[in-house]
């Protein structure tokens, strides 16, 4: 029996539904592992289907195709290292989230997930069945226990595997990013190591899927909780981990420990990766956006340039009579700094035509929000027309503060296929702009330097839909608004809680009212990058019709 076990980790980026493509990625990883002398090549949770599949997994033909691909992979990869790969399984008429062990041309073990997450973005109890904890399987004489993702967030599965003879814990994951997630994972995995006394491998996938970003950050821990290897955050990687058997059992050799970026960089990288993968996986190559001269469109243009390259980003300035010379100048400077194309499409003529068409009907009314929103909707119309004509996906640019309180026009500035800053409050937009101006990384395809002019960051935000308009004419100052929203949305605090923190009750009630009555807009909004545990969509599911208000 060998005293060395070589495990190749495939921290890779599958695509939901691309069964043949994911199988090809698995074969490529196996080939690399065989050339490197691996005993086993491990891939993440539900790798053959991509993750999350949501209700796609309920289609029997899809499950059949996924299982057939795993069986074919086993046959094709008979002469070489064992493969561990995630996929669906059918057992006695029930559907499971499973981990397959492929050895010698066949499936030799199938581990079924025990704990099914049913919170935040997860709804696995709706589509999968739970199964009892199974014991370890054997690869080249080594007994390996595999808690699947959520199973490792609870103590019972790992402890049962240790009690039934597991010598190494291998945990395949589809764990999406949110702010602070790497430290949370590390703390939980240290707990599993301390409880079991076993070395542990935490293997996570990378890549964007709709609103979610899987950030990798795979790790290897030895008993006692010592970190022996850390794979990079957000980057695909193939890494060999060597375990050696000693008097106290198996221990991993030291490996490279990649630095986990701080949250400002991690959030920005998540936005860039989410957009790049959303484009690639949906078949788009180029984007456009309305560049207003304001801070939100400036950061979205920068994210797009970093994700796709400036040559694939079209910026469009859509001035009206209320657009200031400063906005013209600032939009032009942002586009020039990034190296993106800038087109100008004035909306004054279209605005006049719509006004004439509605003149008789609106004759006895006062101009107001309706006329302001016509401008936004005309911009949305123009941008969608350009998108249709040139096959460029339209990005929408509303930050989380605006999306929360409905300070956005449905079928206007909300038009678009993706919103990279949907889960970024306005106050974080300011700081993200400053971070990007001061930092550049090899994964950024846009230019280095202060690409967003200081005036764009410091000038008072304005929609410029009427003379001398400022956002704070309609909303509390953003530092106040965002603090209240974080209380109401992220922390589920009551009105009384926020008043006790020093906020004026009338202001809190106004924000609460705007938050609730804007649900219908968010229901129809474009998807966007998830950065927090309370992103608008799967994390926070509120009814559109809702008459309840907090009177505390």
Residue 278 to residue 281: CA distance in whole angstroms: 5
Same domain, 136 and 245: yes
Phi and psi for 542 in degrees, rounded to 5?
A: -110, 150
Cα Rg, the chain, nearest whole Å: 26
487-505 burial, b for 16+ CB within 10 Å, e for fewer? Answer: bbbeeebbbebbbeeebee
DSSP SS3 for 171: strand
Burial of 132 (0-12, 13-18, 19+ CB in 10 A): exposed
Q: Average of pLDDT values for 315-327?
A: 91
**Active-site amino acid positions:** 45, 113, 149
Reply yes or no on whether the pLDDT at 1 is more than 70. no
Same domain, 280 and 421: yes
Residue 381 to residue 344: CA distance in whole angstroms: 14
The last residue of one of the domains, among 197, 228, 259, is 259
Same domain, 322 and 192: no
Residue 125 to residue 102: CA distance in whole angstroms: 27
Burial of 328 (0-12, 13-18, 19+ CB in 10 A): middle
Q: Which residues pair with 202 in a beta bridge?
A: 171, 219
Half-sphere exposure of 517 (CA within 13 A, CB side): 9
* 530 inside domain: no
Give 120's pLDDT tier (boundaries 50, 70, 90).
confident
Q: Is the Cβ–Cβ distance between 397 and 290 less than 8 Å?
A: yes
pLDDT tens across 151-200, in order? Answer: 999 999 999 999 999 999 999 999 999 999 999 999 999 999 999 999 99
Residue located via tokens 């698995």: 26
Average pLDDT of the chain? 96
Reply yes or no on whether the pLDDT at 369 is more than 80. yes
Supply the pLDDT for residue 464. 67
Reply yes or no on whether the pLDDT at 249 is more than 90. yes
Phi and psi for 144 in degrees, rounded to 5?
A: -115, 130
The last residue of one of the domains, among 244, 259, 274, is 259
Q: Copy the structure tokens of residue 48.
A: 């053959």
Domain count, the chain: 2
Torsional sign, CA 396, 399, 405, 407: negative
Q: How far is CA 423 from CA 76, 208, 270, in A?
A: 43, 15, 11
Q: Which residues contact 138 (CB under 8 A, 6 or more apart)?
A: 144
Same domain, 322 and 191: no
Domain at 454, CATH number? 3.40.50.620
Supply the pLDDT for residue 322. 87
Supply the pLDDT for residue 466. 76
Q: Is the Cβ–Cβ distance between 206 and 238 less than 8 Å?
A: no
pLDDT tens across 461-473, in order? Answer: 877 677 776 777 7
Torsional sign, CA 16, 22, 26, 29: negative
Phi and psi for 6 in degrees, rounded to 5?
A: -110, 115
Same domain, 370 and 502: yes
Q: Copy the structure tokens of residue 45.
A: 């949770």
DSSP SS3 for 101: strand
pLDDT tens across 49-88, in order? Answer: 999 999 999 999 999 999 999 999 999 999 999 999 999 9
Q: Copy the structure tokens of residue 429.
A: 């937009």
Domain at 40, CATH number? 3.60.110.10
Phi and psi for 346 in degrees, rounded to 5?
A: -60, 145
Angle at 233 between CA 300 and CA 392, to 5 degrees: 30
* 130 inside domain: yes
Q: Which residues pair with 84 in a beta bridge?
A: 42, 101
Range of the domain at 343: 264-523
Closest CA to 332 of 342, 347, 321: 342
* 538 inside domain: no
Same domain, 403 and 475: yes
DSSP SS3 for 5: strand
Detail the DSSP E strand segments found in 373-532: 393-394
First to last CA, the chain: 68
Q: Average of pLDDT values for 528-549?
A: 94
Supply the pLDDT for residue 289. 98
* 294 inside domain: yes
Detail the DSSP E strand segments found in 80-150: 82-91, 94-103, 106-112, 137-139, 142-145
Phi and psi for 242 in degrees, rounded to 5?
A: -105, 125
The last residue of one of the domains, among 226, 259, 292, is 259
Same domain, 135 and 98: yes
pLDDT tens across 282-296, in order? Answer: 999 999 999 999 999
* 492 inside domain: yes
Same domain, 159 and 268: no
Q: Is the Cβ–Cβ distance between 346 and 323 less than 8 Å?
A: no
pLDDT tens across 492-519, in order? Answer: 999 999 999 999 999 999 999 999 999 9
Phi and psi for 89 in degrees, rounded to 5?
A: -140, 145
Same domain, 251 and 342: no
Q: Out of 60-74, 226-240, 354-368, which region has the weakest mean confidence (pLDDT)?
A: 354-368
Supply the pLDDT for residue 323. 86
Reply yes or no on whether the pLDDT at 250 is more than 80. yes
* 534 inside domain: no
DSSP SS3 for 323: coil
DSSP SS3 for 539: coil
Phi and psi for 491 in degrees, rounded to 5?
A: -105, -5
Same domain, 286 and 185: no
Supply the pLDDT for residue 258. 97
* 529 inside domain: no
pLDDT tens across 432-477, in order? Answer: 999 999 999 999 999 999 999 999 999 988 776 777 767 777 799 9
* 541 inside domain: no
Same domain, 40 and 89: yes
Same domain, 277 and 406: yes
Alpha carbon of residue 479 to chain centroid = 25
Residue located via tokens 């080249």: 140
């Amino acid at each position: 029996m060998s005293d060395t076990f070589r495990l190749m980790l495939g921290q890779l980026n599958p695509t939901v539904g691309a069964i043949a493509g994911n199988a090809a990625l698995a074969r490529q990883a196996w080939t690399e592992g065989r050339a490197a002398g691996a005993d086993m090549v491990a891939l993440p949770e539900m790798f053959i289907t991509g993750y999350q599949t949501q209700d796609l997994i309920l289609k029997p033909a899809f499950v059949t195709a996924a299982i057939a691909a795993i069986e074919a992979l086993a046959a094709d990869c008979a002469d070489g290292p064992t493969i561990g790969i995630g996929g669906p399984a059918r057992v006695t008429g029930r559907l499971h989230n499973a981990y397959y062990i492929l050895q010698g041309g066949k499936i030799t073990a199938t581990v079924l997930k025990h704990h099914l997450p049913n919170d935040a973005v997860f709804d696995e109890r709706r589509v999968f069945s739970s199964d009892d904890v199974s014991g370890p399987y054997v690869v080249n004489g080594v007994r390996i226990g595999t808690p699947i993702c959520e199973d490792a967030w609870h103590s019972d599965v790992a402890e049962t595997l240790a009690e039934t003879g597991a010598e190494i814990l291998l945990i395949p994951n589809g764990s999406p990013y949110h702010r602070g997630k790497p430290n949370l994972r590390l703390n939980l995995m240290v707990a599993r190591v301390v409880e079991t006394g076993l070395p542990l491998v935490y293997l996570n996938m990378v890549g964007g899927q709709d609103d979610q970003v899987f950030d990798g950050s795979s790790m290897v821990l030895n008993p006692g909780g010592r970190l022996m290897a850390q794979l990079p955050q957000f980057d695909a990687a193939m890494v060999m981990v060597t375990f050696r058997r000693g008097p106290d059992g198996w221990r991993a050799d030291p490996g490279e420990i990649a630095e986990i970026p701080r949250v400002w960089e991690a959030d920005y990288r998540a936005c860039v990766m989410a957009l790049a993968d959303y484009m690639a996986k949906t078949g788009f190559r180029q984007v456009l956006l309305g560049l207003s001269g304001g801070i939100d469109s400036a950061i979205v243009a920068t994210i797009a340039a970093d994700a796709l390259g400036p040559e694939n980003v079209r910026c469009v300035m859509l001035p009206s009579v209320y657009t200031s010379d400063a906005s013209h100048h600032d939009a032009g400077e942002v586009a020039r700094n990034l190296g993106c194309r800038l087109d100008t499409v004035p909306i004054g003529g279209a605005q006049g035509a719509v006004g004439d068409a509605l003149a008789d009907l609106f004759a006895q009314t006062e101009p107001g929000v309706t006329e302001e929103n016509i401008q936004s909707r005309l911009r949305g119309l123009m941008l969608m027309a350009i998108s249709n004509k040139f096959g460029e996906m339209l990005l929408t640019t509303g930050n989380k503060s605006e999306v929360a309180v409905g300070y956005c026009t449905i079928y206007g500035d909300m038009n678009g296929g993706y919103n990279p800053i949907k889960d970024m409050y306005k106050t974080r937009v300011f700081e993200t702009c400053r971070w990007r101006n001061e930092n550049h990384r090899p994964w950024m395809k846009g230019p280095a330097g202060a690409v967003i002019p200081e005036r764009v960051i410091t000038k008072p935000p304005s929609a410029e839909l009427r003379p001398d308009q400022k956002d704070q004419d309609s909303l509390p100052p953003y530092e106040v608004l965002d603090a209240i929203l974080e209380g109401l949305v992220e922390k589920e605090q009551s009105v009384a809680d926020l008043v006790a923190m020093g906020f004026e009750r009338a202001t809190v009630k106004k924000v609460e009212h705007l938050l609730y009555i804007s649900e219908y807009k968010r229901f129809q909004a474009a998807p966007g990058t998830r950065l927090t545990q309370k992103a608008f969509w799967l994390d926070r599911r509120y009814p559109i019709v809702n008459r309840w208000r907090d009177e505390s």
